[in-house]
Structure 1
Amino acid sequence: MLKECLCLGVVGNVPNHLNQANEAKDFCELNTSDFAPKGVFPFYSKDSKKEFLRRFCISENELILDGDFVQIEPELCVIFKASYKDNELSSLKPQYFAAFNDASKRVNEEKISLKKNFSNASKGIGNLIALNNLEELNEYKIHCYLKRNNELIKYANEDYIKNYFYYSDTLISWLIETINNQTDIATLENIKPLIANKPENILICLGALSYTPFGEKHYLKSGDEIYVSVTNKDDIFNSGSTLKQIVR
Protein backbone atom coordinates (compact mmCIF):
# COMPACT_ATOMS: atom_id res chain seq x y z
CA MET A 1 0.00 0.00 0.00
CA LEU A 2 2.77 2.47 0.88
CA LYS A 3 4.23 2.43 -2.63
CA GLU A 4 0.88 3.59 -3.98
CA CYS A 5 0.63 6.50 -1.51
CA LEU A 6 1.49 10.09 -2.21
CA CYS A 7 3.80 10.95 0.70
CA LEU A 8 3.91 14.47 2.12
CA GLY A 9 5.25 16.24 5.20
CA VAL A 10 4.06 19.30 7.12
CA VAL A 11 6.72 21.90 7.86
CA GLY A 12 6.65 24.20 10.87
CA ASN A 13 3.93 22.54 12.96
CA VAL A 14 5.95 22.29 16.21
CA PRO A 15 7.43 25.14 18.29
CA ASN A 16 11.17 25.80 17.79
CA HIS A 17 11.88 22.94 15.36
CA LEU A 18 12.57 25.23 12.39
CA ASN A 19 14.94 27.38 14.44
CA GLN A 20 16.87 24.33 15.63
CA ALA A 21 17.07 23.00 12.07
CA ASN A 22 18.30 26.42 10.90
CA GLU A 23 15.39 26.60 8.44
CA ALA A 24 13.26 29.40 9.90
CA LYS A 25 14.99 31.89 7.62
CA ASP A 26 13.68 30.00 4.58
CA PHE A 27 10.12 31.10 5.32
CA CYS A 28 10.57 34.79 6.08
CA GLU A 29 8.74 35.80 2.91
CA LEU A 30 5.61 33.84 3.83
CA ASN A 31 2.71 35.67 5.42
CA THR A 32 2.04 33.06 8.12
CA SER A 33 1.56 33.16 11.87
CA ASP A 34 4.37 32.07 14.19
CA PHE A 35 1.86 29.52 15.50
CA ALA A 36 0.89 27.88 12.23
CA PRO A 37 2.57 25.46 9.83
CA LYS A 38 4.34 26.94 6.82
CA GLY A 39 3.35 24.45 4.15
CA VAL A 40 3.74 20.90 2.90
CA PHE A 41 6.50 19.16 0.95
CA PRO A 42 6.61 15.90 -1.04
CA PHE A 43 9.10 13.14 -0.34
CA TYR A 44 7.65 10.33 -2.48
CA SER A 45 5.25 10.15 -5.41
CA LYS A 46 5.20 7.45 -8.05
CA ASP A 47 3.60 10.03 -10.34
CA SER A 48 6.22 12.76 -9.92
CA LYS A 49 8.10 14.07 -12.95
CA LYS A 50 11.18 14.36 -10.72
CA GLU A 51 13.18 11.15 -10.77
CA PHE A 52 14.39 11.34 -7.16
CA LEU A 53 10.80 11.68 -5.85
CA ARG A 54 9.79 8.49 -7.69
CA ARG A 55 12.32 6.51 -5.60
CA PHE A 56 10.47 4.67 -2.83
CA CYS A 57 12.36 5.64 0.33
CA ILE A 58 10.46 4.22 3.34
CA SER A 59 11.97 1.39 5.41
CA GLU A 60 10.78 -0.48 8.48
CA ASN A 61 14.22 -1.30 9.88
CA GLU A 62 17.12 0.68 8.38
CA LEU A 63 18.21 4.15 7.40
CA ILE A 64 20.75 4.44 4.60
CA LEU A 65 22.85 7.58 4.68
CA ASP A 66 24.04 9.43 1.60
CA GLY A 67 26.59 11.82 3.02
CA ASP A 68 26.73 13.64 6.34
CA PHE A 69 24.55 16.10 8.27
CA VAL A 70 21.44 13.91 8.62
CA GLN A 71 19.18 14.27 11.65
CA ILE A 72 16.24 12.22 12.88
CA GLU A 73 12.86 13.93 12.51
CA PRO A 74 10.52 11.99 14.84
CA GLU A 75 6.85 12.49 14.18
CA LEU A 76 3.39 11.07 13.73
CA CYS A 77 2.35 9.99 10.27
CA VAL A 78 -1.25 9.40 9.24
CA ILE A 79 -2.47 7.58 6.15
CA PHE A 80 -5.58 9.31 4.87
CA LYS A 81 -8.12 8.03 2.38
CA ALA A 82 -8.44 10.85 -0.16
CA SER A 83 -11.54 11.94 -2.07
CA TYR A 84 -11.71 14.37 -4.97
CA LYS A 85 -14.22 16.69 -6.61
CA ASP A 86 -13.45 17.69 -10.15
CA ASN A 87 -9.63 17.98 -10.09
CA GLU A 88 -9.20 19.03 -6.47
CA LEU A 89 -8.77 17.22 -3.18
CA SER A 90 -12.08 17.43 -1.29
CA SER A 91 -11.62 15.28 1.83
CA LEU A 92 -9.08 13.38 3.93
CA LYS A 93 -10.29 10.53 6.14
CA PRO A 94 -7.80 9.06 8.67
CA GLN A 95 -7.24 5.31 8.23
CA TYR A 96 -3.96 4.45 10.02
CA PHE A 97 -1.28 6.07 12.14
CA ALA A 98 2.35 5.16 12.80
CA ALA A 99 5.58 6.40 14.32
CA PHE A 100 7.71 7.95 11.58
CA ASN A 101 11.25 9.18 11.03
CA ASP A 102 11.23 11.90 8.38
CA ALA A 103 15.03 12.10 8.43
CA SER A 104 16.44 15.21 6.79
CA LYS A 105 19.77 16.50 5.52
CA ARG A 106 20.87 19.79 7.04
CA VAL A 107 22.19 21.27 3.82
CA ASN A 108 21.20 24.25 1.69
CA GLU A 109 18.82 23.27 -1.10
CA GLU A 110 16.37 25.17 -3.26
CA LYS A 111 13.44 22.99 -2.14
CA ILE A 112 12.78 21.00 1.05
CA SER A 113 12.09 17.85 -0.96
CA LEU A 114 15.73 17.76 -2.05
CA LYS A 115 16.74 17.22 1.59
CA LYS A 116 14.33 14.36 2.17
CA ASN A 117 14.53 11.55 -0.40
CA PHE A 118 18.29 10.96 -0.38
CA SER A 119 18.39 7.12 -0.51
CA ASN A 120 16.08 4.14 -0.87
CA ALA A 121 15.81 4.02 2.93
CA SER A 122 15.86 7.66 4.00
CA LYS A 123 12.58 7.37 5.91
CA GLY A 124 11.36 5.00 8.63
CA ILE A 125 7.88 3.83 9.57
CA GLY A 126 6.60 1.85 12.54
CA ASN A 127 3.69 -0.60 12.67
CA LEU A 128 0.43 0.75 11.26
CA ILE A 129 -2.52 1.02 13.67
CA ALA A 130 -6.11 1.60 12.55
CA LEU A 131 -7.47 5.09 13.21
CA ASN A 132 -10.94 6.62 12.86
CA ASN A 133 -10.16 10.22 13.80
CA LEU A 134 -7.25 12.20 15.17
CA GLU A 135 -8.96 12.83 18.50
CA GLU A 136 -8.31 9.18 19.35
CA LEU A 137 -4.65 10.17 19.73
CA ASN A 138 -5.18 13.06 22.15
CA GLU A 139 -3.38 11.30 25.00
CA TYR A 140 -0.60 9.85 22.83
CA LYS A 141 2.95 11.18 22.91
CA ILE A 142 5.83 10.97 20.43
CA HIS A 143 9.19 9.80 21.82
CA CYS A 144 12.62 9.59 20.22
CA TYR A 145 15.92 8.06 21.37
CA LEU A 146 19.26 7.34 19.74
CA LYS A 147 21.45 4.42 20.81
CA ARG A 148 25.16 5.07 20.20
CA ASN A 149 28.08 3.11 21.66
CA ASN A 150 25.57 1.14 23.79
CA GLU A 151 24.24 4.34 25.38
CA LEU A 152 20.56 5.23 24.97
CA ILE A 153 20.22 9.00 24.59
CA LYS A 154 17.09 11.13 24.34
CA TYR A 155 17.29 12.79 20.91
CA ALA A 156 14.09 14.87 20.94
CA ASN A 157 11.71 16.28 23.52
CA GLU A 158 8.65 14.05 23.85
CA ASP A 159 5.33 15.82 23.40
CA TYR A 160 1.62 15.18 23.11
CA ILE A 161 0.28 14.90 19.59
CA LYS A 162 -2.54 17.29 20.51
CA ASN A 163 0.11 20.01 20.99
CA TYR A 164 0.79 20.35 17.29
CA PHE A 165 0.05 23.94 16.20
CA TYR A 166 -2.60 22.60 13.81
CA TYR A 167 -4.37 19.39 14.70
CA SER A 168 -7.63 17.53 14.20
CA ASP A 169 -10.25 19.22 11.99
CA THR A 170 -8.22 22.44 11.78
CA LEU A 171 -5.25 20.52 10.42
CA ILE A 172 -7.31 18.50 7.93
CA SER A 173 -9.00 21.62 6.54
CA TRP A 174 -5.63 23.35 6.25
CA LEU A 175 -4.10 20.31 4.51
CA ILE A 176 -6.84 20.19 1.89
CA GLU A 177 -6.53 23.92 1.21
CA THR A 178 -2.73 23.79 1.08
CA ILE A 179 -2.46 20.74 -1.16
CA ASN A 180 -4.89 22.31 -3.61
CA ASN A 181 -3.40 25.80 -3.62
CA GLN A 182 0.25 25.88 -2.50
CA THR A 183 2.53 27.54 -5.04
CA ASP A 184 6.26 27.42 -5.71
CA ILE A 185 7.37 29.86 -3.05
CA ALA A 186 10.38 29.88 -0.74
CA THR A 187 11.52 26.26 -0.34
CA LEU A 188 7.98 24.97 -0.93
CA GLU A 189 6.55 23.72 -4.22
CA ASN A 190 3.29 23.22 -6.05
CA ILE A 191 1.64 19.96 -4.86
CA LYS A 192 -1.34 20.03 -7.24
CA PRO A 193 0.40 18.08 -10.06
CA LEU A 194 1.01 15.20 -7.63
CA ILE A 195 -2.74 14.66 -7.14
CA ALA A 196 -3.55 14.80 -10.86
CA ASN A 197 -3.98 11.01 -10.93
CA LYS A 198 -6.07 11.17 -7.75
CA PRO A 199 -4.07 8.88 -5.43
CA GLU A 200 -6.44 6.91 -3.21
CA ASN A 201 -4.23 7.19 -0.13
CA ILE A 202 -2.03 10.06 1.05
CA LEU A 203 0.54 9.52 3.81
CA ILE A 204 1.23 12.74 5.69
CA CYS A 205 3.82 13.37 8.42
CA LEU A 206 2.39 15.97 10.77
CA GLY A 207 5.59 17.62 12.04
CA ALA A 208 8.83 16.82 13.86
CA LEU A 209 9.54 17.27 17.57
CA SER A 210 11.96 19.85 18.92
CA TYR A 211 15.45 18.53 19.72
CA THR A 212 17.22 17.99 23.00
CA PRO A 213 20.64 19.69 23.24
CA PHE A 214 22.20 16.38 22.16
CA GLY A 215 19.85 15.92 19.21
CA GLU A 216 20.34 19.48 18.01
CA LYS A 217 24.13 19.07 17.82
CA HIS A 218 24.61 15.45 16.72
CA TYR A 219 24.11 14.01 13.25
CA LEU A 220 23.57 10.35 12.44
CA LYS A 221 26.42 7.98 11.69
CA SER A 222 26.70 4.35 10.66
CA GLY A 223 25.91 1.93 13.48
CA ASP A 224 23.48 4.23 15.31
CA GLU A 225 20.14 2.79 16.37
CA ILE A 226 17.05 5.00 16.06
CA TYR A 227 13.94 4.54 18.22
CA VAL A 228 10.71 6.45 17.62
CA SER A 229 7.40 5.63 19.27
CA VAL A 230 3.85 6.98 19.33
CA THR A 231 2.10 5.66 22.43
CA ASN A 232 -0.08 6.47 25.43
CA LYS A 233 1.71 3.92 27.62
CA ASP A 234 4.72 4.18 29.95
CA ASP A 235 6.46 1.34 28.11
CA ILE A 236 7.43 3.49 25.14
CA PHE A 237 9.40 0.82 23.26
CA ASN A 238 6.78 -1.94 23.33
CA SER A 239 3.41 -0.26 22.90
CA GLY A 240 1.53 1.78 20.34
CA SER A 241 3.43 2.24 17.10
CA THR A 242 7.18 1.76 17.42
CA LEU A 243 10.04 2.11 14.97
CA LYS A 244 13.62 0.85 15.21
CA GLN A 245 16.14 1.65 12.49
CA ILE A 246 19.80 0.72 12.14
CA VAL A 247 21.82 3.42 10.40
CA ARG A 248 23.91 2.16 7.47
Structure 2
Amino acid sequence: MTQGQDWVGLGIAGNQAEHLAQAGEADDFKEVVALENAPKGMFPWYIPGSDSFLGVHPLSHDRLNNNSEGFLQPEPEIALVVKFEYSDRDEKLLDDISVLGFSAFNDCSRRVAAAKISQKKNWGAASQGMAKEILSIDDFTREGGTSDNYRLTCYLKRDGELLQYGKDTAVTDYCYSNQTLVDWMVNQINTQQDNGPLEPIGQMLVTSKPAYGIIAIGATCYSEFGNSEMRFLKEDDEILVIAYDGDQHTTSALEKSLIGSPLPESNASRLILQQQVTTISPPPNTSPQEA
Protein backbone atom coordinates (compact mmCIF):
# COMPACT_ATOMS: atom_id res chain seq x y z
CA MET A 1 0.00 0.00 0.00
CA THR A 2 2.93 2.34 0.66
CA GLN A 3 4.61 1.22 -2.59
CA GLY A 4 7.90 0.61 -0.81
CA GLN A 5 8.27 4.23 0.27
CA ASP A 6 9.16 5.38 3.78
CA TRP A 7 6.37 5.62 6.32
CA VAL A 8 6.21 7.06 9.81
CA GLY A 9 4.38 5.60 12.84
CA LEU A 10 2.25 8.01 14.88
CA GLY A 11 -0.37 7.67 17.58
CA ILE A 12 -3.15 9.75 19.11
CA ALA A 13 -3.57 10.21 22.86
CA GLY A 14 -6.93 10.78 24.51
CA ASN A 15 -9.34 9.90 21.69
CA GLN A 16 -11.35 7.75 24.13
CA ALA A 17 -12.60 9.68 27.11
CA GLU A 18 -11.69 7.23 29.89
CA HIS A 19 -8.53 5.60 28.59
CA LEU A 20 -5.95 8.07 29.90
CA ALA A 21 -7.35 7.76 33.42
CA GLN A 22 -7.35 3.95 33.20
CA ALA A 23 -3.75 4.00 32.01
CA GLY A 24 -2.71 6.30 34.85
CA GLU A 25 -1.69 9.02 32.41
CA ALA A 26 -4.37 11.70 32.87
CA ASP A 27 -2.15 13.85 35.11
CA ASP A 28 0.57 13.87 32.45
CA PHE A 29 -1.71 16.04 30.30
CA LYS A 30 -2.82 18.53 32.96
CA GLU A 31 -0.85 21.34 31.27
CA VAL A 32 -1.97 20.41 27.74
CA VAL A 33 -4.75 22.66 26.45
CA ALA A 34 -7.33 20.89 24.26
CA LEU A 35 -10.93 21.45 23.28
CA GLU A 36 -13.53 19.62 25.35
CA ASN A 37 -13.91 16.00 24.15
CA ALA A 38 -11.00 16.44 21.73
CA PRO A 39 -7.89 14.22 21.66
CA LYS A 40 -4.96 15.53 23.70
CA GLY A 41 -2.23 15.23 21.10
CA MET A 42 -0.09 13.02 18.86
CA PHE A 43 3.12 11.10 19.47
CA PRO A 44 5.68 9.22 17.35
CA TRP A 45 6.40 5.50 17.73
CA TYR A 46 8.51 5.00 14.60
CA ILE A 47 10.56 7.50 12.60
CA PRO A 48 12.68 5.84 9.92
CA GLY A 49 16.25 7.12 9.86
CA SER A 50 16.13 8.47 13.40
CA ASP A 51 19.29 7.84 15.40
CA SER A 52 17.22 7.42 18.56
CA PHE A 53 15.20 4.39 19.68
CA LEU A 54 12.41 5.63 17.35
CA GLY A 55 14.49 4.55 14.35
CA VAL A 56 14.02 0.85 15.18
CA HIS A 57 11.19 -0.79 13.19
CA PRO A 58 8.79 -2.02 15.92
CA LEU A 59 5.90 -3.62 14.04
CA SER A 60 5.11 -7.33 14.09
CA HIS A 61 2.12 -9.29 12.81
CA ASP A 62 2.55 -12.28 15.12
CA ARG A 63 4.71 -11.65 18.21
CA LEU A 64 5.20 -9.14 21.02
CA ASN A 65 8.57 -8.60 22.63
CA ASN A 66 8.38 -8.89 26.41
CA ASN A 67 11.17 -6.63 27.62
CA SER A 68 11.26 -8.49 30.98
CA GLU A 69 10.20 -5.39 32.93
CA GLY A 70 6.78 -6.85 33.73
CA PHE A 71 4.87 -3.64 33.01
CA LEU A 72 3.66 -4.09 29.45
CA GLN A 73 0.03 -3.49 28.61
CA PRO A 74 -1.60 -3.91 25.17
CA GLU A 75 -3.67 -1.04 23.81
CA PRO A 76 -6.23 -2.10 21.19
CA GLU A 77 -6.70 0.52 18.49
CA ILE A 78 -7.76 1.15 14.93
CA ALA A 79 -4.75 2.09 12.78
CA LEU A 80 -5.12 4.15 9.62
CA VAL A 81 -2.77 3.85 6.67
CA VAL A 82 -2.48 7.38 5.27
CA LYS A 83 -0.75 9.39 2.59
CA PHE A 84 0.56 12.83 3.50
CA GLU A 85 -0.04 15.77 1.19
CA TYR A 86 2.74 18.27 1.87
CA SER A 87 2.32 22.00 1.50
CA ASP A 88 4.38 24.25 -0.77
CA ARG A 89 4.09 27.05 1.76
CA ASP A 90 6.63 27.65 4.51
CA GLU A 91 4.07 28.35 7.23
CA LYS A 92 2.78 24.76 7.39
CA LEU A 93 4.00 21.26 6.67
CA LEU A 94 0.79 19.53 5.55
CA ASP A 95 -2.14 20.52 3.38
CA ASP A 96 -4.10 17.30 3.89
CA ILE A 97 -4.05 13.62 4.83
CA SER A 98 -5.65 10.93 2.65
CA VAL A 99 -6.83 7.75 4.40
CA LEU A 100 -6.09 4.68 2.29
CA GLY A 101 -7.07 1.85 4.65
CA PHE A 102 -7.31 0.62 8.22
CA SER A 103 -6.53 -2.41 10.36
CA ALA A 104 -6.40 -3.76 13.92
CA PHE A 105 -3.48 -2.42 15.97
CA ASN A 106 -1.78 -3.01 19.32
CA ASP A 107 -0.18 0.22 20.54
CA CYS A 108 1.53 -1.65 23.37
CA SER A 109 2.83 0.52 26.23
CA ARG A 110 5.41 0.28 28.99
CA ARG A 111 3.66 1.42 32.17
CA VAL A 112 6.68 3.26 33.51
CA ALA A 113 7.42 6.88 34.35
CA ALA A 114 8.62 8.71 31.23
CA ALA A 115 8.83 12.32 30.15
CA LYS A 116 7.36 11.68 26.68
CA ILE A 117 4.68 9.26 25.48
CA SER A 118 7.03 7.97 22.77
CA GLN A 119 9.41 6.66 25.45
CA LYS A 120 6.72 4.17 26.49
CA LYS A 121 6.12 2.84 23.00
CA ASN A 122 9.15 1.54 21.11
CA TRP A 123 11.63 -0.72 22.90
CA GLY A 124 12.84 -2.51 19.79
CA ALA A 125 11.67 -5.09 17.28
CA ALA A 126 8.16 -6.50 17.80
CA SER A 127 7.14 -3.97 20.43
CA GLN A 128 4.04 -2.85 18.51
CA GLY A 129 1.57 -4.90 16.50
CA MET A 130 -0.64 -4.61 13.43
CA ALA A 131 -2.73 -7.19 11.62
CA LYS A 132 -1.15 -8.32 8.37
CA GLU A 133 -4.34 -7.60 6.46
CA ILE A 134 -5.35 -4.00 5.72
CA LEU A 135 -8.82 -3.08 4.45
CA SER A 136 -8.59 -0.51 1.66
CA ILE A 137 -11.13 2.31 1.92
CA ASP A 138 -11.76 5.65 0.25
CA ASP A 139 -14.66 6.88 2.39
CA PHE A 140 -13.16 7.38 5.86
CA THR A 141 -13.97 11.10 5.91
CA ARG A 142 -17.66 10.44 5.21
CA GLU A 143 -19.86 9.86 8.24
CA GLY A 144 -21.43 6.41 7.83
CA GLY A 145 -18.55 5.19 5.67
CA THR A 146 -17.01 1.70 5.74
CA SER A 147 -15.06 2.04 9.00
CA ASP A 148 -18.13 3.31 10.89
CA ASN A 149 -19.65 -0.19 10.65
CA TYR A 150 -16.72 -1.70 12.55
CA ARG A 151 -16.18 -2.51 16.19
CA LEU A 152 -12.93 -3.14 18.04
CA THR A 153 -12.32 -5.70 20.76
CA CYS A 154 -9.34 -7.26 22.52
CA TYR A 155 -8.75 -10.58 24.29
CA LEU A 156 -5.90 -12.24 26.11
CA LYS A 157 -5.32 -15.98 26.03
CA ARG A 158 -3.55 -17.01 29.23
CA ASP A 159 -3.09 -20.55 30.54
CA GLY A 160 -5.76 -21.81 28.14
CA GLU A 161 -8.36 -19.24 29.18
CA LEU A 162 -9.84 -16.55 26.93
CA LEU A 163 -10.05 -13.27 28.84
CA GLN A 164 -11.68 -10.08 27.57
CA TYR A 165 -9.01 -7.40 27.88
CA GLY A 166 -10.48 -4.37 26.09
CA LYS A 167 -14.13 -3.38 25.99
CA ASP A 168 -15.98 -4.13 22.78
CA THR A 169 -16.23 -0.64 21.27
CA ALA A 170 -17.76 0.88 18.14
CA VAL A 171 -15.41 2.88 15.93
CA THR A 172 -18.03 5.63 16.04
CA ASP A 173 -17.41 5.89 19.81
CA TYR A 174 -14.06 7.57 19.22
CA CYS A 175 -14.21 11.21 20.30
CA TYR A 176 -13.00 12.32 16.87
CA SER A 177 -13.44 10.37 13.65
CA ASN A 178 -14.17 10.89 9.95
CA GLN A 179 -13.41 14.35 8.52
CA THR A 180 -13.21 15.86 12.00
CA LEU A 181 -10.32 13.54 12.88
CA VAL A 182 -8.48 14.14 9.59
CA ASP A 183 -8.73 17.92 10.00
CA TRP A 184 -7.53 17.62 13.60
CA MET A 185 -4.53 15.44 12.62
CA VAL A 186 -3.45 17.88 9.90
CA ASN A 187 -3.62 20.80 12.30
CA GLN A 188 -1.91 18.86 15.11
CA ILE A 189 1.04 17.84 12.95
CA ASN A 190 1.36 21.41 11.69
CA THR A 191 1.14 23.11 15.09
CA GLN A 192 1.95 20.72 17.97
CA GLN A 193 4.80 21.96 20.14
CA ASP A 194 7.12 20.33 22.67
CA ASN A 195 4.76 20.43 25.65
CA GLY A 196 4.66 18.02 28.58
CA PRO A 197 4.40 14.46 27.21
CA LEU A 198 4.03 15.74 23.63
CA GLU A 199 6.69 16.42 20.99
CA PRO A 200 6.77 18.71 17.92
CA ILE A 201 5.63 16.19 15.31
CA GLY A 202 5.94 18.53 12.33
CA GLN A 203 9.54 19.40 13.19
CA MET A 204 10.34 15.69 13.46
CA LEU A 205 9.04 15.05 9.92
CA VAL A 206 10.05 18.21 8.07
CA THR A 207 13.44 16.94 6.88
CA SER A 208 12.51 13.45 5.68
CA LYS A 209 8.89 14.12 4.71
CA PRO A 210 7.81 10.46 4.62
CA ALA A 211 5.17 9.84 1.97
CA TYR A 212 2.99 7.61 4.15
CA GLY A 213 2.04 7.02 7.75
CA ILE A 214 0.44 4.47 10.02
CA ILE A 215 -1.57 6.39 12.59
CA ALA A 216 -3.09 4.59 15.59
CA ILE A 217 -6.14 6.71 16.39
CA GLY A 218 -6.49 5.98 20.11
CA ALA A 219 -6.81 3.13 22.59
CA THR A 220 -10.22 1.94 23.68
CA CYS A 221 -11.14 1.43 27.33
CA TYR A 222 -10.11 -1.64 29.31
CA SER A 223 -12.35 -4.36 30.70
CA GLU A 224 -12.38 -5.22 34.39
CA PHE A 225 -9.57 -7.71 33.79
CA GLY A 226 -7.62 -5.19 31.71
CA ASN A 227 -7.75 -2.88 34.72
CA SER A 228 -6.92 -5.54 37.31
CA GLU A 229 -3.67 -6.44 39.07
CA MET A 230 -3.27 -9.26 36.52
CA ARG A 231 -3.24 -6.88 33.54
CA PHE A 232 0.48 -6.87 32.72
CA LEU A 233 1.70 -9.22 30.02
CA LYS A 234 3.54 -12.43 30.80
CA GLU A 235 5.64 -14.78 28.71
CA ASP A 236 3.45 -17.00 26.46
CA ASP A 237 0.39 -14.76 26.72
CA GLU A 238 -1.44 -14.41 23.42
CA ILE A 239 -2.91 -11.04 22.46
CA LEU A 240 -5.89 -10.86 20.11
CA VAL A 241 -7.05 -7.52 18.71
CA ILE A 242 -10.00 -7.76 16.33
CA ALA A 243 -11.67 -5.10 14.18
CA TYR A 244 -14.91 -6.53 12.87
CA ASP A 245 -18.01 -5.48 10.95
CA GLY A 246 -20.81 -5.29 13.52
CA ASP A 247 -23.41 -5.94 10.84
CA GLN A 248 -21.85 -9.30 9.93
CA HIS A 249 -20.54 -10.67 13.24
CA THR A 250 -21.87 -10.92 16.77
CA THR A 251 -19.71 -10.72 19.87
CA SER A 252 -20.77 -14.17 21.07
CA ALA A 253 -20.00 -15.84 17.72
CA LEU A 254 -16.67 -14.05 17.57
CA GLU A 255 -15.68 -15.27 21.04
CA LYS A 256 -16.58 -18.86 20.16
CA SER A 257 -14.35 -18.68 17.09
CA LEU A 258 -11.43 -17.47 19.20
CA ILE A 259 -11.57 -20.34 21.69
CA GLY A 260 -10.60 -23.00 19.19
CA SER A 261 -7.42 -23.50 17.22
CA PRO A 262 -6.46 -22.47 14.65
CA LEU A 263 -8.00 -19.00 14.73
CA PRO A 264 -10.30 -17.95 11.90
CA GLU A 265 -8.49 -16.12 9.10
CA SER A 266 -8.84 -12.38 8.59
CA ASN A 267 -11.10 -11.20 5.82
CA ALA A 268 -12.80 -7.97 4.74
CA SER A 269 -15.29 -8.16 7.62
CA ARG A 270 -12.90 -9.36 10.35
CA LEU A 271 -9.30 -8.16 10.78
CA ILE A 272 -7.39 -10.15 13.41
CA LEU A 273 -4.05 -9.35 15.03
CA GLN A 274 -2.62 -12.33 16.95
CA GLN A 275 0.62 -11.78 18.91
CA GLN A 276 2.45 -14.31 21.05
CA VAL A 277 4.40 -12.73 23.91
CA THR A 278 8.06 -13.76 23.70
CA THR A 279 11.39 -12.46 24.96
CA ILE A 280 13.76 -10.97 22.41
CA SER A 281 17.24 -9.72 23.26
CA PRO A 282 17.14 -6.00 22.37
CA PRO A 283 19.68 -4.57 19.95
CA PRO A 284 22.24 -2.26 21.56
CA ASN A 285 21.51 1.45 22.04
CA THR A 286 17.74 1.18 21.50
CA SER A 287 16.51 1.71 25.05
CA PRO A 288 14.19 4.74 25.50
CA GLN A 289 16.32 5.82 28.46
CA GLU A 290 19.25 6.29 26.07
CA ALA A 291 17.35 8.56 23.66
> TM-score per shorter chain, which class?
over 0.9
Which segment drifts farther, 178-187 or 29-38?
29-38
Match of 1:145 in 2: 155
CA deviation after TM superposition for structure 1 residue 34, in Å: 4.4
Aligned to 1:164: 174
| 1:24 corresponding residue in structure 2 | 26
**What letter corresponds to residue 80 of structure 2 in structure 1?**
V
- The aligned amino acid for 2:225 is F
Which amino acid is the alignment partner of residue 108 of structure 1? Answer: A
TM-aligned CA distance change 1:243 to 1:3, over 3 Å? farther
Q: How has the CA–CA distance of structure 1 residues 3 and 62 changed in structure 2, closer, same or farther, with 3 Å as cutoff?
A: farther
Letter in 2 for 1:173: D
Structure 2 residue aligned with 1:116:
121
Distance 1:26 1:18 in 2: 9
Number of aligned pairs?
247
Give me the whole-angstrom Cα distance separating, in 2, the residues matched to 1:246 and 1:34: 38
Match of 2:135 in 1: 129
Alpha-carbon distance between aligned partners in 2 of 1:159 and 1:104, rounded to the nearest angstrom: 20
Is it true that 1:220 corresponds to 2:225 in the alignment?
no
Q: Does structure 2 retain, via aligned residues, the 8 Å contact 1:80–1:92? A: yes
The residue type equivalent to 2:19 in the other structure is H
Residue type matched to 1:214 in 2? F
Task: Note the C-alpha offset of 1:229.
Answer: 0.8
Instruction: Report the aligned-residue RMSD.
Output: 1.5
1:220–1:34 CA distance, 2 compared to 1 (3 A): farther
> Shift of the alpha carbon at 1:208?
0.5
Residue 133 of structure 1 deviates from its aligned partner by 2.2
Paired residue for 1:243? 273
Summarize deviations over 1:28-64 as a string: whole Å, max 9, x none: 112224411000000001143x420000000000000
| Mapped contact 2:5–2:212 kept (Cα < 8 A) | no
Distance 1:3 1:34 in 2: 37
2:261 aligned partner: none
Aligned equivalents of 1:131 and 1:221: distance in 2?
36
Q: Cα distance, 1:3 vs. partner? A: 7.8
Conservation of the 8 A alpha-carbon contact between 1:58 and 1:125: yes
Instruction: Identify which of 194, 200, 207 aligns with 2:211.
Output: 200
Is 1:35 matched with 2:37?
A: yes
Tell me, yes or no, if structure 1 residue 231 matches structure 2 residue 244: yes
**2:5–2:211 CA contact under 8 A, matched in 1:** no
C-alpha change, 1:60 and 1:26, in structure 2 (3 Å) is same
Equivalent runs, 1:50-61 vs 2, <5 Å: 50-61=51-62
CA distance in 2, matches of 1:103, 1:216: 15
Counterpart contact for 2:105–2:273, Cα < 8 Å:
yes
Distance 1:180 1:159 in 2: 30
Separation (CA, whole Å) in 2 of partners of 1:3 and 1:109: 31
Picking from 112, 117, 128, the partner of 1:107 is 112
The two structures have a TM-score, normalised by structure 2, of: 0.82
Match of 1:77 among 68, 76, 79: 79
TM-score by length of 1: 0.95
Q: Indicate whether 1:177 and 2:192 are aligned.
A: no
* Identity fraction in percent: 36
1:94 maps to 99
Structure label with greater radius of gyration: 2
**Structure 1 stretches lacking a partner, 5+ long:** none
Deviation at residue 174 of structure 1 after TM alignment: 0.4
3-state SS of 2:124 partner? coil
Matched, 1:44 2:46: yes
Counterpart of 1:180 in 2: which secondary structure? helix
- Going from structure 1 to structure 2, the CA distance change for 1:80 and 1:61 (only over 3 Å counts) comes to same
- 1:140 CA displacement: 0.4
Q: After TM superposition, where is structure 1 displaced by more than 6 Å over at least 4 residues in a row? A: none
Residues of 1 paired with 2:34 and 2:241: CA distance? 30
Q: Secondary structure at the match of 1:113?
A: helix
Give structure 2 stretches of 5+ with no counterpart: 259-263, 279-291
